[in-house]
Amino acid sequence: MGKKADGKVLAQNKKASHDYFIEDTYEAGMVLTGTEIKSLRNGRSNISDAFATIRNAEIHIHNMHISPFEQGNRNNPTDPTRTRKLLLHKEQIRKLIGLSKQEGYTIVPLKIYVRNGYAKLLLGLGRGKKQYDKRDAAAKRDAQRDIQRALREKQKIAR
């Protein structure tokens, strides 16, 4: 059998790039039970309030909401926001332990997607933004938008 194509993004945390400077990313597998993967593929998940913690050299994700599958059976999990274990290599976990203990760093989930038939979670190592950093980022984005708009107008006039 050939490799399955990379799937679409199932859930994305747009608030993460607004609240954190993402310095490094890691791809992690997820331990799911029952029909959670079917709910994920239907787009019935939310990671905007989720966060990751490290306990006993294992990474767990909290507050990730996966709605129960409607046509589910008795193996359907009852708690949609239960703590789920993430699968990473030991060396990646050790590196995350060292980096996350530094002041101001946290592990933030960025997006959920399917790769080769398996649900993956993209984790980002983020450093929190201050309020003035957010204002600077908004000002740069607005300035870039104005520049692009002016270039488009100039091209329209030249034609």
42 and 81 housed in the same domain: yes
pLDDT in tens, 46-68: 998 898 999 998 999 999 998 88
134 and 64 housed in the same domain: no
Number of domains composing the chain:
2
Give me the half-sphere count of Cα atoms (radius 13 Å) on the Cβ side of residue 12: 5
73 and 149 housed in the same domain: no
On whether residue 117 sits in a domain, the answer given is: yes
pLDDT in tens, 116-138: 888 999 999 988 888 777 788 88
Residue 22, domain CATH: 2.40.280.10
* pLDDT for res 31: 92
Q: Given pLDDT bands bounded at 50, 70 and 90, which one contains residue 85?
A: very high
120 and 154 housed in the same domain: no
Query: What is the overall mean pLDDT for the chain?
Result: 85
**Could you tell me the residue range of the domain that residue 92 belongs to?**
9-128
On whether residue 3 sits in a domain, the answer given is: no
On whether residue 4 sits in a domain, the answer given is: no
On whether residue 1 sits in a domain, the answer given is: no
108 and 154 housed in the same domain: no
Residues 146-154 have a mean pLDDT of 90
10 in Cβ contact with 43 (< 8 Å): yes
Contacting residues for 122 by C-beta, under 8 A, at least 6 apart: 25, 26, 27, 28, 109, 110, 111, 112, 113
Residues 14-28 have a mean pLDDT of 88
